[in-house]
Amino acid sequence: MLKNKRIIVTGGKGFLGKHLLKKFTDYGCRNIDVADLPEFNLTNIDDIRRMYEEKKPDIVIHLAAKVGGIGFNQEKPAELFYDNLIMGSQLMHEACLRNIEKFVALGTICAYPKFTPVPFKEEDIWKGYPEETNAPYGLAKKMMLVQSQAYRQQYGFNSIFLLPVNLYGPGDNFDPRSSHVIPALIKKCFDALDKKEASIEVWGTGAATREFFYVEDAAEAIFLAMEKYNKSDPVNIGAGFEISIKELAELIVNLSGFKGTIIWDKTKPDGQPRRMLDTSKASKEFGFQAKTDLITGLTKTINWFRKNRYSTK
């Protein structure tokens, strides 16, 4: 059934988008297209309407987002709130007006309350305020869940809301101004190797824990949800484990071949104390389970960066 559907992926030129497009192609989908900058500015309602009129999709996968690490969230909270809120709200509203068959919205683990019990369960998502350093971004994305449920209730609109944990993998964003922790640490190690430096500096204490989700597994989860899941209840997608930032940094240092020391800048924030998802609903509802363990995923990511780093920011 999906092979002949017209599928649009917003943000399809990005990190996750490229892997998702490959997944669709591997499954035999024939009519896949991308809505992304510079052709479409998805914060602009006229561009959104033009996208729908020109592409005439049956299914929309909304991946496009303005996103970054703790520093980027602290620097640009207003932009992160407005751009993500307006993109999601207008895209879903215009999709509903056009009777699009299905809208798949990607949220974020940053939508969860700061002190959510671990592992995070979907029913806990409204039990507190998000961690302050990324609350504007997390709340903006969370509004798509409210919209999805409201539009299904009033209009019968088929939209779903997925909550991915931190992604990583080949092709990630390695720009130090906006990258997340894994690509940032990998780049720090290789920069130190190039400059023959004896240490790297990492923000925080290293005590915070995170879960990391290999991008190819994330693409598989999104595909299965698109194919099989048709409810507006949120669903976590992730790998179902946690590791401290300290352990992660030591692992990346070892795998990258850097022999120096790690200096922790404890004046900088740790962010949310712990993050790990309960992924049992994804398994139950659409049969997804992550396949890539962290060492395998990190090794593939580091090898990719080693080959491509001179063409990567």
Give the tens place of pLDDT for each residue, 149-185.
Answer: 999 999 999 999 999 999 999 999 999 888 889 999 9
Full 3-state SS string of 154-167:
HHCCCEEEEEECEE
Q: Choose the catalytic residue: 137, 151, 168, 214.
A: 137
- 241, pLDDT greater than 70: yes
- Residue 97 burial (CB count, 10 A): 12
* Sign, CA torsion 113/174/13/80: positive
Residue of 264 and 269 predicted with greater confidence: 264
17-32 pLDDT tens trace: 999 999 999 999 999 9
Identify the band that residue 193 occupies on the pLDDT scale cut at 50, 70 and 90: very high
Q: At what angle do helices 77-97 and 45-55 cross, to 10 degrees?
A: 40
Residue 142 lies in a domain: yes
Whether 196 maps to a domain, the answer reads: no
Task: Please report the pLDDT score of residue 130 as a whole number.
Answer: 95
Q: How far apart are CA 130 and CA 282, in angstroms?
A: 23
The arithmetic mean of pLDDT across residues 191-198, rounded, is 96
Residues paired with 262 in a beta bridge: 200
Domain encompassing residue 114:
2-170+212-240+273-291
Does residue 199 sit within a domain?
A: no
In a domain? residue 268: no
**Collapsed DSSP state (helix, strand, coil) of residue 273:** coil
Q: Which of 152-156, 191-195, 209-213, 268-272 has the lowest mean pLDDT?
A: 268-272
Of the pLDDT bands very low, low, confident and very high (cuts 50, 70, 90), residue 313 is low
pLDDT at residue number 312: 62
pLDDT over 70 (residue 216)? yes
Interval 32-90: pLDDT, tens: 999 999 999 999 999 999 999 999 999 999 999 998 888 888 999 999 999 999 999 99
Assess if residue 92 is contained within a domain: yes
pLDDT of 178 reads 83
Q: Report how far residue 245's alpha carbon sits from residue 252's, in angstroms, rounded to the nearest whole number.
A: 10
Q: Measured between alpha carbons, how far is residue 309 from residues 72, 124, 185 in Å?
A: 22, 40, 13
Give which of 68, 135, 71, 65 is closest to 270, Cα–Cα: 71
251 versus 133: which is more confidently predicted? 251
Please tell me the pTM assigned to this model: 0.94
Return the CATH number at 10: 3.40.50.720
Residue 230 lies in a domain: yes
What is the domain count for the chain? Answer: 1
d(CA 221, CA 274): 23
Note whether residue 123 is domain-resident.
Answer: yes
Is 137 annotated as catalytic?
A: yes
How large is the C-alpha radius of gyration of the chain? 19
How far apart CA 103 and CA 52 sit, in angstroms, is 13
Asked whether residue 260 is assigned to any structural domain, the reply reads: no
- Are 96 and 139 in contact, with CB atoms under 8 Å apart? no
pLDDT at 2 over 90: no
From 81-85, 164-168, 268-272, 281-285, the region with the lowest mean pLDDT: 268-272
Share the mean pLDDT of the chain.
Answer: 95
